[in-house]
Structure 1
């Protein structure tokens, strides 16, 4: 719960910061801050933790994480926190589809119906063909797709890799990429902007560390449903900081997506073989 609260607070900061500086600077602050904190945590273990038999997958995983953040931060320039978060929460059902297509995991008719229902919920929010639709509405879908690719890669290599290794590679690769891109469109932030850039890096890293800790302490089947609490905190920050209240269609679409997502999660838990 603290993790998703921190993530949504980071998103709120990123949305405000995006009015002062280029999105590339926000992304640089996010991952450079993570790099500094992770290097402090790893200390003398940094070089041993960089040893991995899955270098290519670590690079792909990191770029997908960067892609998810890029799509979401761009979406926040055009949408409210609640709307963008709701559509991005399609990630769990995208993961189910990707697991079937990439990892060959079997999915039944009920889970397929759950996936379709979640997509309907996204269409209710995006409303293609209506006056409120804009191409910017598709950015959160990009976030969900990148999170799915990121999660499937993590699932594949997670059994043999330390979580700190993944965190370290994400920080190194994403901060290196953004260190090359950000100076091209750099805008000098004011004092509040500088504070928010530091906050995005620190809060985002704390949220990620707490999520790793949660998955280390409890099975994924117990932890996963709590990520939907991010909808509540995102709505709260949107109202408090930006006076953005979700409309009726966003609420209906969110209810459909969350219900479908929880149903798909429930079917996945039941489909797993029980230990004897």
Structure 2
């Protein structure tokens, strides 16, 4: 398997984890204040990754480029808060369709920040995907929570693009640990304004969400360090298949035909048509 296809596989698995994390947020249904959820999730993430971080050699635990890591940690806070609002108030498929505008945003960002030139085919694929997002969203039926979903999409794009700027000597475990730790002061301060009593069941779902999103972040860092962002970013759209399936199975959110058409438009660019053609001619 080529490095590019391996990176795509990592993103698909990561998006499955992120989709299950969204399910946990949907189950909470706004019962936990937004930034209380974010703070607890980041704290649990730090505690989950701490033993793995400590098992590394001292040199591997070192934080490189603290400014970049600080920036990524606070992008994560903003995106997580907006994600909670969007998933709570929109159907899973609709919210995630907007989230997956991120690959389209990553094309100009990768060009500006990383000086990458994405292949023309990838540009066309992501444009088709964005049209699919518009079909799912249907601007004539615009919901205010979609604004929060759009902000989440931008933070996802920035978070993944900046992963390419992380130094190779900083391990994925170290990156995840410091991202969680650096996000705690601000998220704690925001959480204190709206702190509320929390039930053990809610803590269980937040722990599950934290573990799953930690897995996504780790796989995303690994993927974007292995391949150019413009070449693999379209694989982020795979999560839309997962959340649509979960929405039907667990929340009775059956997409109408327009939503289904938009999802097809978003997912179609993921299919390696050239590989299928080569196999068919053998």
TM superposition score category, shorter chain reference: 0.7 to 0.9
Give ranges in structure 1 of 5+ residues lacking alignment: 267-276
Distance 1:78 1:122, change over 3 A: same
1:77 to 83, 88, 96: 88
Q: Is the 8 A contact 1:6 1:206 kept in 2?
A: yes
Kindly tell me the number of residue pairs found equivalent between the two proteins.
261
Distance 1:207 1:61, change over 3 A: closer
SS at match of 1:117: helix
Query: Cα deviations across residues 124-152 of structure 1 (Å, max 9, x unaligned)?
Result: 12222x1x212321322222211111112
Equivalent-residue separation in structure 2 for 1:90 and 1:56 (angstroms)? 27
Q: Is the 8 A contact 1:5 1:230 kept in 2?
A: yes
In structure 1, what is the equivalent of residue 8 of structure 2?
Answer: none
1:203 to 190, 199, 212: 212
Distance 1:209 1:70, change over 3 A: same
Equivalent-residue separation in structure 2 for 1:91 and 1:262 (angstroms)? 18
2:45 to 34, 45, 58: 34
1:236 to 229, 245, 248: 245
In structure 2, what is the equivalent of residue 7 of structure 1?
Answer: 18
Query: Cα deviations across residues 34-88 of structure 1 (Å, max 9, x unaligned)?
Result: 1001111112548644534411111111222222222221111211111111221
Equivalent-residue separation in structure 2 for 1:5 and 1:117 (angstroms)? 22
Q: Is the 8 A contact 2:54 2:61 kept in 1?
A: no
Is 1:180 the counterpart of 2:189? The answer is: yes
Q: Is the 8 A contact 1:25 1:186 kept in 2?
A: yes
Equivalent-residue separation in structure 2 for 1:149 and 1:215 (angstroms)? 12
Distance 1:233 1:133, change over 3 A: same
In structure 2, what is the equivalent of residue 270 of structure 1?
Answer: none
Distance 1:143 1:199, change over 3 A: same
Equivalent-residue separation in structure 2 for 1:189 and 1:249 (angstroms)? 39
Is 1:170 the counterpart of 2:179? The answer is: yes
Give ranges in structure 2 of 5+ residues lacking alignment: 1-11, 275-282
In structure 1, what is the equivalent of residue 279 of structure 2?
Answer: none
Equivalent-residue separation in structure 2 for 1:248 and 1:202 (angstroms)? 34
Distance 1:207 1:150, change over 3 A: closer
- TM-score w.r.t. the length of structure 1 is 0.81
